[in-house]
């Protein structure tokens, strides 16, 4: 009861923002229905007294006719209002679902990348996304139901009050047990849903692993289907066992509530008989009052049922409202200053960075400089901070300490969108869009989406053109197998697509994180045969485990545990015989014949 006003407010504001017209129509109809229902009772009284009058020969049939016609008219309106309520609920459900999903997407695309490193955010995002599909219909049903029930209860109560106030009090009292029972039952299901969230997510994940192409090969190779399936079934079993208990409890509570209510309704009717006997009411009044009592009962039942629906969807409403509320804060927090279009000198000045989930710094006091047109490389062992530094330079993360300047302007204080505009980047875990070959490359700069010549040029540079032109539909061929007619590619070919996308972006600063990891040696050699031409004079930051691609860089930075421990050209670094020389020699030794 205490939460109902807050829930109503949340549900109302979401519904109102999604479907103003439909909701207003729905409310107007229910208001009309409420008026009709009150009128119906008074007309019933008139019709009954007319019929009794006719039977006793005191009235003519024609006297009763207007009441009967009015009854027909009112009941037509009521039938229509009932149908409209159900249908509008359906429409409202979908409109609200769409609006809710839109708002989830606003948040999911509006937050900075770092949010995706937080399990709490991911949890809430997942909950908001799945609930936004299923819950709005329930919420709309609850909302319109509560609204309709409240209005009609007011109407019928007014009519009943006019007939005999005692009944009004008795009927309302009779429904107190049912109301309590419904609230109890809703609470039980609410608690069940809260407890199950975590388990449901684990189960969803397992079903995901068992149905996705990405895991299909490994699941078979390691014979994991049975193993995962058992875990999945166990989670279902646990959920169902608890659901059975919950359902049994709800049935018990409902039955007791219903029985008490029925007993009280019977008592009401008994009082009615006593009143007629004592001639406190005439037969027509009693008939109308009986109809009103039944109607009021139905409406009270509708109210408790709808409030139950609303209560059950409250988990969603509250969760959703607070999740979406994060959005305006983000917009306000984004700096307004614009970064320049590129730089002559980039400087990373004493930059440190920590991930929110880890105490240890991923980057620790890093300082470096890059001149326009230079090719610089980052090398270091796994986890030394290379990708993190690349993400900071691409404007995807902001440093915890220190500054990144472009010709003296601190771009960490600028709108990150304006920084990213001048950066082309591909990561190790690059995206594979299930779109056409053209679109896969053109997404590199969607503002130039239609420039086929440029797309082909980028594909030639990355070596993707050779296999794209062999596809049945060439650049218009769909990539990836999930859709009909899609052509799946090898990992190396996908990597060339990603490279082509980065080239198509045509940004002055190019960041390539392991761009050749999936390429065979010949492809890699071809690609890097003429590096300067490949990059077309752009500034390039290259991360690679392959020293062959790194050695020609103008400057190499060696990272170790988040710090730069060595810097220089290949020759300089070999001369100092430190970490770089050690790693280089290790890799080179793998290719050399120990006999030589
Ligand atoms: P590299 O690219 O050199 O392999 P990374 O920059 O990916 O290294 O990682 C640097 C450090 O930060 C590692 O210790 C890694 O475990 C940690 N790290 C990377 N990504 C995350 C993340 N999303 N959340 C928490 N820690 C992370």
Is residue 595 predicted with pLDDT exceeding 70?
A: no
Q: Is the CB of 26 under 6 A from ligand 1?
A: no
Q: Is the CB of 359 under 6 A from ligand 1?
A: no
In ligand 1, which atom is closest to the CA atom of 513? Answer: 2
Q: Is the CB of 109 under 6 A from ligand 1?
A: no
In ligand 1, which atom is closest to the CA atom of 389? Answer: 6
Q: Is the CB of 380 under 6 A from ligand 1?
A: yes
To test the pocket of ligand 1, the residue of 356, 388, 512, 541 to mutate (highest count of ligand atoms within 8 Å of its CB) is 388
- Burial level of 440, CB count in 10 A (0-12/13-18/19+)? buried
Is residue 316 predicted with pLDDT exceeding 50?
A: yes
Cα 15 from Cα 313, distance rounded (Å): 13
DSSP state of 339: P
In the reported structure, the alpha carbon of residue 113 is separated from the centroid of ligand 1 by a whole-number distance in angstroms of 14
Cα 239 from Cα 439, distance rounded (Å): 43
In the reported structure, the alpha carbon of residue 447 is separated from the centroid of ligand 1 by a whole-number distance in angstroms of 32
Could you report the per-residue pLDDT of 318-354, keeping only the tens digit for each? 778 878 887 666 666 778 899 999 999 999 999 999 9
Q: Which H or E element spans position 418?
A: helix 416-420
| C-beta separation of 339 from 422 below 8 A | yes
Residue minimizing CA distance to atom 13 of ligand 1:
383
The DSSP bridge pattern shows strands 375-380 and 555-560 to be: parallel
In the reported structure, the alpha carbon of residue 385 is separated from the centroid of ligand 1 by a whole-number distance in angstroms of 6
406, β-bridge pairs: 346, 409
Q: Which H or E element spans position 285?
A: helix 283-312
In the reported structure, the alpha carbon of residue 362 is separated from the centroid of ligand 1 by a whole-number distance in angstroms of 6
In the reported structure, the alpha carbon of residue 384 is separated from the centroid of ligand 1 by a whole-number distance in angstroms of 7
Q: How far apart are the first and last CA of the chain?
A: 86
Q: How confident is the model at residue 383 (pLDDT cuts 50, 70, 90)?
A: very high
Query: Residue 248: what pLDDT?
Result: 94
Cα 352 from Cα 324, distance rounded (Å): 31
Q: Which H or E element spans position 283?
A: helix 283-312
Report how far Cα 165 is from the mean position of its chain's Cα atoms: 51
Residue minimizing CA distance to atom 27 of ligand 1:
355
CB atoms within 10 A of CB 255: 11
Structure tokens of 464?
A: 């993707």
Q: Is the CB of 560 under 6 A from ligand 1?
A: no
What percent of the chain has a predicted confidence (pLDDT) above 90?
A: 34
In the reported structure, the alpha carbon of residue 383 is separated from the centroid of ligand 1 by a whole-number distance in angstroms of 5
Residue minimizing CA distance to atom 10 of ligand 1:
385
The DSSP bridge pattern shows strands 409-410 and 401-406 to be: antiparallel
Q: Which residue has the tokens 């970490």?
A: 579
In ligand 1, which atom is closest to the CA atom of 391? Answer: 6
DSSP state of 143: H
In ligand 1, which atom is closest to the CA atom of 388? Answer: 6
To test the pocket of ligand 1, the residue of 116, 355, 361 to mutate (highest count of ligand atoms within 8 Å of its CB) is 355
Report how far Cα 428 is from the mean position of its chain's Cα atoms: 26
Q: How confident is the model at residue 482 (pLDDT cuts 50, 70, 90)?
A: low
Q: How confident is the model at residue 453 (pLDDT cuts 50, 70, 90)?
A: very high
Structure tokens of 349?
A: 């000045």
Q: How confident is the model at residue 361 (pLDDT cuts 50, 70, 90)?
A: very high
Is residue 549 predicted with pLDDT exceeding 70?
A: yes
Is residue 61 predicted with pLDDT exceeding 70?
A: yes
Q: Please give the residue that has the higher pLDDT: either 356 or 401.
A: 401
Cα 323 from Cα 135, distance rounded (Å): 15
| C-beta separation of 295 from 44 below 8 A | no
In ligand 1, which atom is closest to the CA atom of 562? Answer: 10
């Amino acid at each position: 009861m205490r939460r109902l006003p807050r829930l109503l407010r949340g549900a109302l504001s979401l519904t109102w923002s999604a479907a103003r017209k439909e909701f207003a129509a729905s409310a107007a109809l229910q208001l009309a229905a409420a008026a009709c229902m009150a009128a119906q009772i008074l007309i019933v009284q008139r019709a009954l007294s007319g019929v009794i009058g006719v039977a006793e020969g005191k009235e003519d049939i024609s006297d009763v006719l207007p009441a009967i016609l009015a009854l027909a008219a009112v009941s037509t309106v009521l039938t229509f209002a009932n149908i409209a309520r159900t249908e509008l609920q359906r429409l409202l459900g979908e409109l609200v679902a769409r609006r809710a999903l839109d708002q989830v997407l606003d948040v999911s695309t509006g937050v900075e990348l770092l949010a995706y490193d937080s399990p709490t955010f991911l949890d809430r995002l997942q909950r908001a996304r799945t609930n936004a599909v299923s819950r709005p219909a329930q919420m709309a049903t609850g909302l319109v139901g509560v609204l309709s029930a409240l209005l009609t209860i007011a109407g019928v109560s007014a009519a009943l009050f006019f007939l005999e106030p005692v009944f009004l009090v008795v009927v309302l009292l009779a429904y107190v047990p049912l109301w309590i029972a419904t609230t109890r039952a809703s609470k039980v299901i609410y608690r069940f849903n809260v407890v199950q969230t975590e388990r449901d997510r684990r189960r969803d994940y397992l079903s995901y692993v068992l149905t996705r192409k990405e895991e299909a090969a490994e699941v078979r190779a390691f014979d994991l289907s049975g193993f995962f399936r058992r875990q999945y079934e166990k989670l279902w079993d646990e959920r169902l066992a608890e659901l059975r208990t919950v359902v049994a409890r709800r049935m018990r509570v409902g039955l007791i509530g219903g029985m008490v209510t029925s007993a009280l309704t019977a008592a009401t009717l008994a009082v009615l008989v006593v009143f007629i006997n004592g001639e406190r009411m005439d037969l027509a009044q009693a008939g109308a009052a009986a109809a009103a009592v039944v109607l009021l009962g139905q409406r009270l039942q509708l109210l408790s049922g709808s409030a139950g629906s609303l209560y059950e969807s409250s988990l969603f409403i509250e969760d959703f409202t607070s999740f979406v509320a994060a959005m305006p804060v983000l917009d306000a927090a984004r700096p307004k200053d614009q970064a320049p279009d590129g730089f002559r000198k980039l400087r990373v000045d004493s930059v440190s960075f920590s991930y929110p989930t880890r105490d240890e710094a991923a980057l620790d006091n890093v300082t470096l400089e890059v001149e326009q047109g230079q090719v610089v490389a980052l090398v270091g062992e796994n986890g030394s901070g290379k990708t993190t530094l690349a993400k900071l330079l691409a404007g995807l993360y902001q440093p915890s300490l220190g500054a990144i300047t472009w010709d003296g302007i601190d771009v960490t204080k600028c709108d990150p969108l304006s920084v990213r505009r001048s950066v082309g980047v591909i990561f190790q875990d690059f995206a594979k869009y299930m779109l056409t070959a053209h679109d896969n490359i053109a997404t590199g700069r969607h503002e130039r989406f239609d420039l086929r010549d440029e797309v082909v040029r980028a594909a030639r540079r990355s070596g993707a053109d050779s296999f794209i032109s062999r596809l049945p539909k060439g650049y218009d061929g769909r990539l990836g197998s999930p859709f009909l007619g899609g052509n799946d590619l090898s990992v190396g070919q996908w990597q060339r697509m990603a490279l082509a996308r980065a080239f198509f972006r045509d940004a002055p600063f190019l960041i390539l994180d392991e761009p050749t990891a999936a390429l065979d040696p010949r492809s890699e050699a071809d690609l890097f045969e003429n590096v300067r031409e490949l990059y077309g004079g752009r500034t390039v930051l290259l991360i690679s485990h392959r020293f062959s691609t790194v050695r020609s860089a103008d400057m190499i930075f060696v990272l170790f545990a988040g710090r730069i421990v060595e810097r220089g050209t290949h020759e300089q670094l070999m001369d100092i015989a430190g970490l770089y020389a050690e790693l280089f020699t290790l890799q080179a030794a793998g290719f050399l014949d120990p006999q030589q």
